[in-house]
A and B are shown apart, each in its own frame.
Chain A
Amino acid sequence: GAGVSQSPSNKVTEKGKDVELRCDPISGHTALYWYRQSLGQGLEFLIYFQGNSAPDKSGLPSDRFSAERTGGSVSTLTIQRTQQEDSAVYLCASSMSGTTTGELFFGEGSRLTVL
Chain B
Amino acid sequence: AQSVSQHNHHVILSEAASLELGCNYSYGGTVNLFWYVQYPGQHLQLLLKYFSGDPLVKGIKGFEAEFIKSKFSFNLRKPSVQWSDTAEYFCAVSSGGSYIPTFGRGTSLIVHP
Contact = CB atoms under 8 A, between A and B. Distances in A.
Interface stretch (B14-22, B78-86, B95-103): B95-103
Interface string A27-71: 000010101000011110100101000001000000000000000
Interface residues of B, number: 26
Interface residues of A, number: 27
A103 interface: yes
B70 interface: no
Contacts of B98: 100
B43 A107 contact: yes
Contacts, number: 58
A100 B32 contact: yes
Given A42-B105, A42-B106, A31 B99 contact: yes
A60 to B, nearest CB: 13
B106 A56 contact: no
B102 A101 contact: no
Interface in B60-93: 90, 92
Contacts of A33: 100
Contacts of A48: 99-100
A101 B51 contact: yes
Contact of B46 (A42, A45, A104, A107): A104
Contacts of A35: 103
B45 interface: yes
Interface of B: 4, 6, 32, 34, 36, 42-46, 49, 51, 90, 92, 94-95, 97-106
20 contacts: A31-B99, A33-B100, A40-B105, A42-B104, A43-B106, A45-B102, A48-B99, A50-B99, A100-B51, A100-B99, A101-B51, A102-B99, A103-B49, A104-B36, A104-B44, A104-B101, A106-B36, A106-B45, A108-B42, A108-B43
Interface of A: 3-4, 31, 33, 35, 40-43, 45, 48, 50, 56, 91, 93, 98-109
CB-based closest 4 A-B pairs: A43-B103, A42-B105, A106-B44, A101-B51
